[in-house]
Chain A
Amino acid sequence: MDRFNTALTIMKKELRAYFVSPIAYIVITIFLIFSGFFFFKDFFYFNQAEMRNYFQLLPLMFTFVVPAVTMRLFSEERQSGSMEILMTLPVTSLDVTAGKLLAGTLFTIVMLAPSLFYVVTLIIVGSPDPGPIIGGYLGAIFLAAAYASIGVLTSSLSKNQIIGFITGWAACFFLWLIDKIVFFMPPALGFLEYLGTDTHFQNISKGVIDTRDIIYFLSITALSALATVKILDERR
């Protein structure tokens, strides 16, 4: 309980830090402009009351938006030296990682929240199928957590935020890409498809909630978080 409270305190502090810096608003704005474009393209051109295209592109957008959100979490602390203050407070590496990961994930969810207006619009003008929309949002939350944990991991590797961002983006993009390049590989490597985030996300966003997909996202999150904890401990 103690440890959980500590993680929550760190999370609150990081969330507050997000909203006092202009970068947060810039990232949110860019995300909303792009995602809004992809939503309204279908909405007006094809007169479709659905969010399929929106959720189809979300994983790709997340590959660069989420690492941009998480890049500062550890890099900034190491750059400014405040890491020393943080780690000499009565906290464990796990508390710190969990707190920062939760903050990054929650921030991404907040960023996604304005898209609920699209849902409202759809309900007013048409009768959308609720399954894919609920599934889409659920999948987005899992995806946010998985990518945020990768972003937190790469942020812990370097003092430089930009390096943290680029390696984070590369890792997330690779996971997004992998099920698309399996096509070019020998059939024996077909299992690689299951490592891709997109396959699992698209499953959930069809409205089919399969434990395998959820376990996939949770494992990515847990593995990256544990790797981060290991890195923090090793650095001592």
Chain B
Amino acid sequence: MISARGLTKSYGDLVAVNDVSFTIRKGEITGILGPNGAGKTTTLRMLTCYLEPDRGDIVIGDHNVKDNPLEVKKIIGYLPESAPLYPDMLVYDYLVYVSEVRGVPANGRIREIGRLCGINEVMHKNISELSKGYKQRVGLAHAMIHDPEILILDEPTSGLDPNQIVEIRNLIKEIGKQKTVILSTHILPEVEATCDRVIIIDRGSIVADDRTDILQKSLGKDNRISLKVSGADFAALSEAMKGIAGVRDVARLDDRDLTGALITVSGDSEARPEIFKTVGARGWVLYEMKQEQVSLENIFRQLTQGGNNGQI
């Protein structure tokens, strides 16, 4: 659906995106993940024809971005970061304007998209009066009004409250069932929650590009178990845990009333039954034991901070 080869873009001396290549398949939700200033927005802007790459090639659908930007823009719906909509327009007028420019009949479509994005009740308000969450939803409606094949969202949940984030994510997942969605974010749980695939960018280059679950598996060599018991002090607990096969490290986990420990276990061994038995045998009381899902966070940290970029 989208293939980019050797994209490079610099602003003056600053190379924002350096020789980036990737392919995005139809019907996937792809997350572009990276720290602030990694080149996510620049990459998306090149895909949407807002910026022209200094070097490299982008083919979207059957069209080359360089030769046929107009056709490319027609099949893309794009929501820029922080949804910079015209503040002194009514939501309804704005959507009518966008559908006119896009050449789609406005009548039924605006009501339909309004229902999908949950903005029907603010249709006759000024955009400047909307809360951040509603503004973001109007931005989504703007991006989807022409039922695009490809939806590109730049930090779609930034600045929203937790409820709104969940709503927007669900909406994106819903849309992602039929469309190709690309979203950028610097928030890891977002990628874990919504994306089928993730491209990690750091300092203008791609450092990882794979399916989210594969990436989690390939990098998550250790499991972590958090444990809370009463009746033991940390030294005794630590001593006992270190005796269990597979346990590599025990760290203190602060808790007000209980004794907590964060236990690192080698990936292939299952230590939980042994832990349970040991705690029971010593007469301690087990309050909590939880194996943590290895999160992308560790992977992300490894890739974007260590000097060993490019190695997984």
Residues of A within 8 A of B (CB): 2, 5-6, 9-10, 13, 16-17, 20-21, 80-82, 84-85, 87-92, 236
Q: Are A80 and B87 in contact (CB under 8 A)?
A: yes
Distance (Å) between the CB of A74 and the closest chain B CB? 14
Q: Are A20 and B88 in contact (CB under 8 A)?
A: yes
Q: Are B101 and A80 in contact (CB under 8 A)?
A: no
Residue of A nearest to B88 (CB): A20
Chain A residues near B48 (CB-CB < 8 A): 88
Residue of B nearest to A235 (CB): B51
User: Which B58-99 residues sit within 8 Å CB-CB of chain A?
Assistant: 70, 73-74, 76, 78, 80, 82, 84-89, 93, 97-98
Chain A residues near B86 (CB-CB < 8 A): 17, 80, 82
Given A80-B84, A82-B84, A88 and B73 contact (CB-CB distance below 8 Å): yes
Report how many A-B pairs have Cβ atoms within 8 Å.
Answer: 59
Chain B residues near A90 (CB-CB < 8 A): 70, 73-74, 101-103
B222 within 8 A of A: no
Distance (Å) between the CB of A89 and the closest chain B CB? 5
Residue of A nearest to B52 (CB): A236
Given A82-B85, A82-B86, A88-B49, A16 and B93 contact (CB-CB distance below 8 Å): yes
Q: Are A17 and B80 in contact (CB under 8 A)?
A: no
Q: How many Å lie between the Cα of A84 and that of B50 in the bound state?
A: 7
Distance (Å) between the CB of A102 and the closest chain B CB? 15
Residue of A17, A87, A92 touching B50 (CB-CB under 8 A): A87
Q: Are B50 and A9 in contact (CB under 8 A)?
A: no
B100 within 8 A of A: yes
Given A84-B45, A84-B50, A87-B50, A9 and B100 contact (CB-CB distance below 8 Å): yes
Q: Are A89 and B98 in contact (CB under 8 A)?
A: yes
Q: Are A236 and B50 in contact (CB under 8 A)?
A: yes
Distance (Å) between the CB of A208 and the closest chain B CB? 42
Distance (Å) between the CB of B88 and the closest chain A CB? 5
The 8 closest A-B pairs by CB, nearest first: A81-B84, A236-B52, A90-B73, A84-B80, A9-B100, A88-B48, A88-B78, A82-B84
Q: Are A88 and B101 in contact (CB under 8 A)?
A: no
The residue among A5, A6, A88, A91 with the most chain B CB atoms within 10 A of its own CB is A88
Residue of B nearest to A79 (CB): B84
Distance (Å) between the CB of B81 and the closest chain A CB? 8
Q: A16-B93, A81-B82 are in contact. List 9 more A-B contacts (CB 8 A).
A: A2-B103, A17-B86, A81-B84, A84-B80, A88-B50, A88-B76, A89-B98, A90-B73, A91-B73
Interface CB pairs A-B, < 8 A, 28: A5-B103, A6-B101, A9-B100, A9-B101, A10-B101, A13-B97, A16-B89, A16-B93, A17-B86, A17-B88, A17-B89, A80-B84, A81-B82, A82-B85, A82-B86, A85-B142, A87-B49, A88-B48, A88-B73, A88-B78, A88-B80, A89-B101, A89-B102, A90-B74, A90-B103, A91-B73, A236-B50, A236-B52
Residue of A10, A81, A91, A236 touching B80 (CB-CB under 8 A): A81
Residue of A nearest to B84 (CB): A81
Chain A residues near B74 (CB-CB < 8 A): 90
Given A84-B80, A90-B73, A236-B51, A21 and B88 contact (CB-CB distance below 8 Å): yes
Residue of A nearest to B89 (CB): A17
Residue of B nearest to A82 (CB): B84
Chain B residues near A2 (CB-CB < 8 A): 103
Distance (Å) between the CB of B221 and the closest chain A CB? 42
Q: How many Å lie between the Cα of A9 and that of B98 in the bound state?
A: 9
Chain B residues near A20 (CB-CB < 8 A): 88
Q: How many Å lie between the Cα of A121 and that of B269 in the bound state?
A: 98
Chain A residues near B98 (CB-CB < 8 A): 89
Chain B residues near A236 (CB-CB < 8 A): 49-52
Q: How many Å lie between the Cα of A21 and that of B76 in the bound state?
A: 32
The residue among B80, B86, B101 with the most chain A CB atoms within 10 A of its own CB is B101
Chain A residues near B85 (CB-CB < 8 A): 82, 85
Q: How many Å lie between the Cα of A88 and that of B50 in the bound state?
A: 6
Chain B residues near A82 (CB-CB < 8 A): 84-86
